[in-house]
Structure 1
Amino acid sequence: MRAEIIQVEYGYTATFERRFVQSPDQMWAMLTENEKLQSWFPELRVEKLEEGGSLSFRMGDGTTDSLAITDFQDGKVLAFEWAEDEVRFELEEEGSGTKLWLIEFISRFTPHTARDLAGWHVCLNVIQALLDDKAIERKQEWEREYPEYARLIDSMGVTFD
């Protein structure tokens, strides 16, 4: 399921909602334990897991950016800076499984926004595949999703600064 994008007072939110049969503890480990985190987002690494702590993002050019953790509730919420924006994961127990929200708070659309949204979509698909012990072709998934997110943003009549 694709993200729901809505305009809010300070910009936009893109909300992905997924359900997993795995427990909240298993899902939290996928988000916060570096070995598991890097299996679905190899450029990202937890440095200090607490509010005010940080993650590091290894850029394609070999440099590293520090992403401040802006909200943290152990086992439930992990939010961090994402350039000028914020990415937030929320977990909720649902029966024996987990309901997960990934919310990107977007201050303004840029030519890169559709790429990011397609990337988050694919990351969630990769998490699901890893947990289900199934193969997934990340590039093929992204190539399918990116045009859809580009169309969605275009349909909102967005202009770039």
Structure 2
Amino acid sequence: MADYGTLHESKGRYLLRFERFFPYSPEEVFMVLTNPDDFKEWYPCATGEMELKVGGVIRFDDEEGTVSEAIITELDAPHTFSFQEGDELIHITLKNHDKGCHMIFTHTFDDLSWAVNTATGWHGCLEVLEQIVNGEPISWQNDVDRLMGIYSESFDKTFR
């Protein structure tokens, strides 16, 4: 089971942080992170349409009438991939670590009331990303209630 995310306050905003370790080089993990076909498998509502350059657009469609775009704000292969959708920022860094790499995934947002739901969702998405990186079949776990409880208790302690 992957490590749990943490919630932090930063400059009046909130930041969810997840860390993962992969037994692969940053180059190998970066290729999966930025491959449109892989990206749409683990990232919510991604269509697979991605212009992989700073200022490039990533398209999303929830198939319920909401279509949106994110703009790539930072792209430094194989170490940094960041993009902004509205006021929310996703920032992913990869660093060499022993015989693999250390990934830090952060999501910066404003509405604390969504922190538990968002953390629960990212937890599942990052589990699927790990499966893709490891060449395993994708298996979405159905443990939302358990994760909601864990994140609710953790964040309640943090922001009590």
TM-score computed with the length of structure 1 as normaliser = 0.83
SS across alignment from 1:121: helix
Instruction: Show the counterpart of 2:94.
Output: 91
The CA deviation at 1:46 is 4.5
**How many residues matched?**
157
Give the Cα separation in 2 of the matches to 1:20 and 1:142.
24
SS across alignment from 2:111: coil
Which of 90, 95, 105 is matched with 1:102 structurally? 105
SS across alignment from 2:154: helix
Give the Cα separation in 2 of the matches to 1:74 and 1:133.
21
SS across alignment from 2:78: coil
The CA deviation at 1:132 is 3.0
The CA deviation at 1:117 is 1.3
Q: What's the RMSD between the two structures over aligned residues?
A: 2.2
Give the Cα separation in 2 of the matches to 1:46 and 1:96.
32
SS across alignment from 2:101: strand
The CA deviation at 1:100 is 0.2
Amino acid at match of 2:73: T
SS across alignment from 1:30: helix
Instruction: Show the counterpart of 1:154.
Output: 156
Specify every segment of 5 or more residues in structure 1 that has no aligned partner in the other structure, as ranges. Answer: none
Give the Cα separation in 2 of the matches to 1:141 and 1:88.
25
SS across alignment from 1:138: coil
Asked if the contact 2:80–2:92 (Cα under 8 Å) also holds between the matched residues in 1, the reply is: yes
Asked if the contact 2:70–2:85 (Cα under 8 Å) also holds between the matched residues in 1, the reply is: yes
Q: Do structure 1's residue 48 and structure 2's residue 51 form an aligned pair?
A: yes
Higher mean alpha-carbon deviation, 1-10 vs 39-48, is at 39-48
1:82–1:2 distance in 2 versus 1, CA, 3 Å: farther
Which of 26, 29, 34 is matched with 1:27 structurally? 29
TM-score computed with the length of structure 2 as normaliser = 0.83
1:136–1:4 distance in 2 versus 1, CA, 3 Å: same
Give the Cα separation in 2 of the matches to 1:145 and 1:60.
25
Give the Cα separation in 1 of the matches to 2:86 and 2:156.
22
Q: Percent identity?
A: 20
The CA deviation at 1:71 is 1.9
Amino acid at match of 1:146: M
